[in-house]
Amino acid sequence: MRAGTTRWVLGRLAGAAVTVVVASVVVYGALQLVPGDPLATLTGGKRLTESQLDVLRETYGLDRGFVPGYLEWVGHVVRFDLGTSSVYQDSVNTLLASRLPVSLALIGYAAVVTVVLGLGVALVSAVAGRRTATLATVLTSGAAATPPFVAVIVLLAVFSVGLGWFPVTGAGSGFLDRLWHLTLPAVAMAVAAFGVLARVGQAAFADQLRREHVEVARSRGVGEGAVLRRHVVRNSLGPVLTVVGLLLASLFVGTAVVETAFGINGIGAFLVSSVSRQDFPVVQAVSLIAVVVFVVISTAVDLLLPVLDPQLRRAVSR
């Protein structure tokens, strides 16, 4: 690996580390920065004895300065100890682990729908005629502007209540039953992401189709399928992959609305209930996990782009 490439990689990794550290400070400090007494936030205004309040102060580091308390909390986090739920009196790790599989299944399902439909529509609209491209633009623009809660309402009203094709709530059990239960939630999560990806992909593919190297390949008798694979899709991977990474990270956040609406006992719904019940250790843990997921995906995309883009690879190796 060249020195320039090494510096670039280390710079990206250092930037990711700084982002996570800053986010962890914000997540930890949120309790100390709430207006009024932090203990009132933790207890929801309930009357507790002084000894119980002392236990809470010690548990959340309120009896120490900000820096010592933060360092102790981070020490637990790096050992994968996310604390104890103030509502369930159980390990946050255990509570999240029991809800993680269904959330991962939902996110994975939504990601597949987003990528397959988004890139499919983008490619078709780029190579088709003007009428098809215009129709695709209208469709994807509307999808990109649709918030998840609107998609949830429409999908439930039409396909669950109206037609009865899909269940209203629950995540199902077993592969096929879970696939059936998670179809509408996954589509609801994917609608806006599909629209964004299709718009970006359509623009990137159309730009490559106008390039000289595509015309040269066609003049040499290269088949249209090979032209699309080797010269259009491959050279469009830079902007497309960047958007895919951001959208995949955003799907994690989208679980909060969708899981709550469909009665799915995943991490997103757990976060919403924890906020309403003022279960601060759970809120801290999920918030930090969301930041780490976003940073990891973004950094992975940044590191992968030079592998796919020769021009960027030459630029970072200088």
Indicate the average pLDDT of the chain. Answer: 80
Are 201 and 122 in contact by the 8 Å Cβ rule? The answer is: yes
**What is the pLDDT, as a whole number, of residue 314?**
63
Rounded CA-CA distance 316/318 in Å is: 6
Higher pLDDT, 99 or 46: 99
Residue type, 201: G
Stretch 236-242: mean pLDDT: 78
User: ∠ CA(92), CA(96), CA(100), 5° rounding?
Assistant: 170
Q: Which CATH class is domain 99-308?
A: mainly alpha
**What is the pLDDT, as a whole number, of residue 35?**
56
Q: Evaluate if residue 201 carries a pLDDT over 80.
A: yes
Domain parsing of the chain, residue ranges: 3-92, 99-308
Most confident of 45-49, 108-112, 306-310: 108-112
pLDDT (tens digit per residue) in 243-286? 888 888 888 878 888 888 888 888 888 888 888 887 888 888 88
Higher pLDDT, 314 or 94: 94
**What is the pLDDT, as a whole number, of residue 48?**
63
Helices (H), 34-144: 38-43, 50-59, 66-78, 92-127, 130-144
Rounded CA-CA distance 21/11 in Å is: 15
Are 59 and 256 in contact by the 8 Å Cβ rule? The answer is: no
**What is the pLDDT, as a whole number, of residue 18?**
92
Higher pLDDT, 56 or 241: 241
Higher pLDDT, 91 or 205: 91
pLDDT (tens digit per residue) in 90-129? 888 899 998 888 899 999 999 999 989 988 888 888 777 7
